[in-house]
């Protein structure tokens, strides 16, 4: 019988079953506290190093093509003090959005043409990366969705981005042009620069 120690730090039930773990054993591990169920069918070994972003890790296993975006990405990039109620992810237009009850997840549909613009990754747990937009793309997405997510969140993210050592205003404008919000972003940058 396989033992939990041979499993990766984070794994799915499909991974466990492919390694010969019987469902009865998998749930016995969970009930004994040897693994923690992060989301339906996604588990993490209890002896694994702590995950910095367990919810993002869980969602990335449930929806591997999705990209962490908006307020969730802003939190990771330290562009906001908001603690998102949902894990916010983007999927390309025309694809089936994932249905994830836990952790609560909100799905945005982004244009296929620009879907991977600004794609980066973040370390959600030691040695485990999830797909997320970079800080500049996150700012632009918050500006694009400011009427839905809040003007203050968008402007706070822009202000914090511009105070960073690695701030690249030209990249913001490039993304804004590609994503159709050049005017509002240019105006907001003018206000930030005037301070």
Nearest Cα neighbor of 58 from 70, 74, 41 is 41
For residue 27, report the phi and psi dihedrals to the nearest 5 degrees.
-75, -25
In this prediction, residue 96 has a pLDDT band, given cuts at 50, 70 and 90, of: confident
The pTM (predicted TM-score) of the whole model is 0.90
Residue 2: its pLDDT value, please? Answer: 65
Instruction: Please name the residues in contact with 173: beta carbons below 8 A apart, sequence gap of 6 or more.
Output: 182, 185, 186, 189
Q: Are 74 and 88 in contact (CB under 8 A)?
A: no
Average model confidence (pLDDT) across the chain: 93
**Torsion (CA) 136, 134, 60, 45 in degrees, nearest 10:** -130
pLDDT digits (tens, 9 = 90+) for 159-184: 999 999 999 999 999 999 999 999 88
pLDDT digits (tens, 9 = 90+) for 33-92: 999 999 999 999 999 999 999 999 999 999 999 999 999 999 999 999 988 889 999 999
For residue 92, report the phi and psi dihedrals to the nearest 5 degrees.
-70, 145
């Amino acid at each position: 019988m396989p033992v939990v120690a041979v499993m990766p730090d984070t794994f799915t039930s499909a991974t466990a079953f492919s390694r010969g773990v019987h469902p009865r054993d998998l749930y016995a591990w969970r009930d004994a506290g040897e693994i923690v169920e992060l989301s339906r069918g996604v588990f993490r070994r209890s002896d694994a190093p702590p995950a910095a972003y367990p919810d993002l890790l869980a969602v990335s296993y449930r929806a591997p093509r999705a990209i962490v975006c908006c307020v969730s990405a802003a939190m990771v990039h330290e562009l906001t003090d908001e603690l998102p109620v949902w894990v916010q992810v983007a999927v390309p237009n025309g694809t089936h959005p994932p249905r994830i009850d836990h952790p609560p997840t909100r799905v945005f549909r982004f244009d296929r043409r620009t879907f991977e613009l600004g794609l980066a990754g973040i370390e959600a747990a030691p040695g485990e990366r999830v797909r997320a937009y970079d800080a500049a793309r996150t700012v632009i997405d918050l500006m694009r969705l400011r009427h839905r997510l809040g003007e203050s969140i968008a402007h706070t993210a822009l202000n914090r981005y511009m105070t960073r050592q690695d701030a690249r205003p030209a990249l913001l404008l490039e993304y804004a042009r590609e994503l159709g919000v050049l005017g509002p972003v240019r105006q907001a940058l003018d206000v930030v620069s005037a301070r």
